[in-house]
C-alpha cells in the first residue's frame, strides 16, 4: 500500500475513498480485482468493503461490489443543498428550450467549474455522465466568464494552483493574453470558447453572481464548431444567455 500522498491525512479514509474511485472507474469489481489493483491484501479490502456496505456506499450484486445509493443521496445533496443550484436547474432547461443548444450550469468551487446541471434533450444521454466533473476555468466559456468577475489577485491564485494546461492547440496558455481577454469579456458580458477545451466544440458562457458580487457559477450553451461564427447570430445567442442569467440572478435575489 504505502500512502505518502499528502501530509496529515487519515490513511484508512483515503483507502476507502480510493476503493470507491476504483469502483467508479471499473463500474463495479470483485474483491480480488480491487486488491490487485490497489496492491493490498484481500482481507484489507474486504474490511473496507464491509464498512462501506454498512453505510450503503457500496452494495453487493452477487460477488461484485458496486457504488451504492448512499453515495447517490449525498452526492445529490450537493445539488439540492443550495437554493442557487436548485433554481439553476429550470433555467438550464429553459436555456436549452430557447436555443436548442446543449446547456450547462456549473458551480465555481475552489477554482474549478463543477458540472451541476445539463440539458440537451433526452437523446443525448452521455451529457449526464459528467455531473460532478471538475473543469479548469481558463479554457472553458463559463470558466473565463467566471474569472472575468473575479479580482485579479484571485485569478492569479487560481492560475498558480492549477496552471493553464493546454488541452487543444487553441487553448490560451499565456497569462497576459488571458487577462486581456478577460477584460474584453468583462466589457461585453459574455465569453466565447473556440475549441480551447475540446476540439471542434464552441461555446458561449456567462457568469452568475450574487448581489454581493460573489460568483456562484455560470451558464453556457455548447455546439459544434462554427455554430457561433456568424457574428450576428452569435450576438443574438449571447443576448439570450445573458438575459437568462439576469433573470436567474433576479429571481435568486428575491428568494
Q: What nine digits make up the cell of 217?
A: 457559477
Q: What nine digits make up the cell of 113?
A: 467549474
74 binding a copy of itself? (CB under 8 A)? yes
Of residues 32, 42, 77, 199, which one binds a copy of itself by CB under 8 A? 77
- Grid cell 442569467 is found at 245
**Which region, judged by CB under 7 A, interacts with DNA, from 8-16, 90-98, 102-110, 178-186?**
8-16
17 binding DNA? (CB under 7 A)? no
Residue 101's closest CA among 78, 113, 119? 119
21 binding a copy of itself? (CB under 8 A)? yes
Of residues 6, 8, 211, 231, which one binds DNA by CB under 7 A? 8
CA atoms within 13 A on the CB side of 32: 1
User: Is 25 strand, coil or helix?
Assistant: helix
Closer to a copy of itself by CB, 5 or 211: give it: 5
Closer to DNA by CB, 55 or 73: give it: 55
Of residues 56, 168, 186, 242, which one binds a copy of itself by CB under 8 A? 56
DSSP 197: S
114 binding a copy of itself? (CB under 8 A)? yes
Q: What is the CA radius of gyration of the chain?
A: 21
User: Is 8 strand, coil or helix?
Assistant: coil
Question: 41 is in the binding site of which of a copy of itself, DNA, none (Cβ under 5 to 8 A by kind)?
Answer: DNA
Q: What nine digits make up the cell of 151?
A: 479580482
Q: What nine digits make up the cell of 15?
A: 483507502
Concatenate the DSSP letters of all residues of 217-232 into one string: EEEEEEEETTTT-SHH
Q: What angle do CA 169, 175, 177 make, to 5 degrees?
A: 70
Closest distance of CB 57 from DNA, Å: 15
Q: Which residues bind a copy of itself (CB under 8 A)?
A: 5-6, 8-10, 12-14, 16-17, 20-21, 24, 27-28, 47-48, 50-52, 54-57, 59-60, 66-81, 86-87, 89-90, 93-94, 107, 109-110, 112, 114, 116, 122-123, 125, 128-129, 131-134
Q: Which residues bind DNA (CB under 7 A)?
A: 1, 3, 8-12, 15, 30-33, 40-44, 46-50, 60, 63-64
Amino acid at each position: 500500500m504505502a500512502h505518502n500522498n499528502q501530509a496529515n491525512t487519515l490513511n484508512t479514509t483515503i483507502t476507502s475513498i480510493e476503493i470507491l474511485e476504483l469502483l467508479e472507474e471499473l463500474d463495479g469489481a470483485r474483491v480480488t480485482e480491487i486488491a490487485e489493483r490497489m496492491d493490498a491484501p484481500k482481507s484489507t479490502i474486504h474490511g473496507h468493503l464491509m464498512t462501506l456496505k454498512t453505510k450503503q456506499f457500496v452494495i453487493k450484486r452477487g460477488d461484485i461490489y458496486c457504488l451504492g445509493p448512499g453515495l447517490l443521496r449525498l452526492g445529490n445533496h450537493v445539488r439540492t443543498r443550495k437554493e442557487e443550484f436548485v433554481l439553476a436547474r429550470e433555467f438550464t432547461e429553459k436555456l436549452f428550450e430557447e436555443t436548442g443548444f446543449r446547456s450547462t450550469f456549473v458551480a465555481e468551487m475552489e477554482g474549478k467549474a463543477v458540472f451541476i446541471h445539463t440539458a440537451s434533450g433526452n437523446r443525448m444521454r452521455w451529457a449526464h455522465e459528467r455531473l460532478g466533473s471538475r473543469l479548469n476555468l481558463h479554457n472553458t466559456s463559463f470558466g473565463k466568464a467566471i474569472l472575468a468577475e473575479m479580482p485579479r489577485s484571485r485569478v492569479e491564485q487560481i492560475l498558480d494552483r492549477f496552471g493553464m494546461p493546454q488541452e487543444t492547440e487553441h487553448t490560451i496558455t499565456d497569462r497576459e493574453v488571458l487577462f486581456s481577454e478577460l477584460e474584453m469579456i468583462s466589457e461585453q458580458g459574455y465569453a466565447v470558447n473556440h475549441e480551447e477545451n475540446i476540439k471542434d466544440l464552441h461555446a458561449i458562457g456567462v457568469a452568475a453572481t450574487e448581489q454581493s458580487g460573489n460568483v456562484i457559477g455560470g451558464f453556457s450553451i455548447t455546439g459544434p464548431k462554427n455554430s457561433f461564427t456568424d457574428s450576428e447570430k452569435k450576438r443574438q445567442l449571447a443576448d439570450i444567455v445573458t438575459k437568462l442569467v439576469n433573470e436567474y440572478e433576479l429571481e435568486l435575489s428575491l428568494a
